[in-house]
């Protein structure tokens, strides 16, 4: 399979070189860019918005890592601060002992007694020199630790500002994505309304079909009514007047047989008829 693929690629390359000559690479690059652009144009905007949202979410691990670094720096600064405080206390104690020995030597005595032991003035001077050298070394260490503390505090402030910037940038990107999504939904809604407004022919055809269906149903109802009358159904909906057989006698009785009003012979139609 791989051999066939390589062979096909070689054939395409040879044919392309034959047709386009030295410009084959330019044509290939242009074709590739056109294909990429066409594919990108087909990607839905909603997908691109979601992709932007996922990219913002991938910033979160970096932010958490930065927060972890800041927390470690804070712990280191606190430990170094406690160490500096202990060393400052030690320096104060050494200075107090150094001053005490120096004060004793100023008395001019030849011997001195400390902690149940007796020391000569030369021994005290040697001890004083050792204590001074140790104190100077302690002060040098203390100075370096203070410099380290200041540098760590400065780095901590810088990292905290960087973290605040990252959080602000993340929030700003989230707002921009929300705005993009809102704009996209508004545009999609407008496109939906526009498509409905433009498709008048489809709407008119639907209305016409509904009118025709209603007309067909009306015709079927009329036919059913007509068929019911032909089948001899009793027309209960229509009132009929039954004429009695002795209607003349009833009229005579109403007026009185001998008191019938005289009707003038005329061609005019009586009023009220």
Claim to verify: residue 116 and residue 188 sit in the same structural domain: yes
In a domain, 121, yes or no: yes
Q: 117-133: per-residue pLDDT in tens? A: 999 999 999 999 999 99
In a domain, 258, yes or no: no
Q: Looking at residue 273, what is its pLDDT? A: 39
Task: Give Cα 28 distance to the centre of its chain.
Answer: 39
Closest CA relative to residue 98, chosen from 127, 123, 137, 138: 127
* CA dist., res. 149 & res. 83, Å (int): 10
Q: Looking at residue 227, what is its pLDDT? A: 67
In a domain, 267, yes or no: no
How many C-beta neighbours within 10 Å does residue 102 have? 14
Q: Domain with 186 in it: what CATH number?
A: 1.10.287
Closest CA relative to residue 93, chosen from 134, 53, 125: 134
In a domain, 151, yes or no: yes
In a domain, 249, yes or no: no
Q: Which domain holds residue 27?
A: 10-42
Q: 3-62: per-residue pLDDT in tens? A: 555 555 554 454 445 444 555 555 455 655 554 544 455 557 777 878 888 888 888 898
Claim to verify: residue 135 and residue 182 sit in the same structural domain: yes
Claim to verify: residue 55 and residue 173 sit in the same structural domain: yes
Claim to verify: residue 184 and residue 95 sit in the same structural domain: yes
Which residues of the chain carry a pLDDT beneath 70? 1-43, 193-203, 226-242, 255, 257-273
Three-state DSSP class for residue 118? strand
pTM higher than the cut 0.85:
no
Claim to verify: residue 119 and residue 37 sit in the same structural domain: no
Angle between helix 60-105 and helix 121-198 axes, rounded to 10 deg: 160
Claim to verify: residue 32 and residue 54 sit in the same structural domain: no
Claim to verify: residue 18 and residue 65 sit in the same structural domain: no
């Amino acid at each position: 399979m791989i051999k066939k693929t390589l062979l096909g690629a070689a054939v395409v390359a040879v044919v392309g070189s034959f047709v386009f000559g030295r410009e084959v690479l330019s044509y290939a690059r242009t074709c590739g860019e056109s294909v990429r652009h066409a594919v990108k144009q087909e990607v839905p905007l909603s997908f691109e918005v979601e992709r932007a949202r996922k990219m913002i979410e991938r910033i979160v691990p970096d932010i958490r890592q930065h927060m972890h670094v800041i927390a470690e720096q804070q712990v280191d600064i606190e430990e170094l601060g406690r160490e500096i405080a202990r060393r400052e206390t030690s320096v104060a104690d050494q200075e107090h002992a150094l001053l005490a020995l120096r004060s004793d030597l100023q008395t001019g005595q030849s011997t001195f007694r400390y902690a149940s032991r007796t020391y000569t003035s030369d021994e005290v001077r040697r001890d004083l020199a050792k204590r001074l050298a140790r104190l100077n070394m302690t002060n040098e260490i203390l100075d370096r630790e203070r410099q380290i503390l200041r540098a760590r505090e400065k780095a901590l402030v810088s990292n905290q500002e960087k973290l605040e910037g990252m959080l602000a940038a993340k929030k700003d990107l989230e707002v921009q994505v929300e705005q993009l999504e809102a704009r996209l939904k508004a545009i999609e809604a407008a496109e939906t309304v526009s498509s409905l407004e433009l498709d008048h022919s489809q709407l008119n055809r639907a209305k016409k079909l509904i009118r025709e269906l209603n007309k067909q149903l009306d015709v079927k109802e009329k036919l059913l009514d007509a068929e019911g009358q032909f089948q001899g159904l009793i027309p209960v909906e229509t009132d009929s007047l039954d004429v009695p057989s002795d209607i003349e006698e009833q009229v005579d009785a109403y007026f009185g047989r001998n008191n019938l009003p005289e009707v003038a012979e005329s061609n005019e139609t009586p009023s009220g008829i």
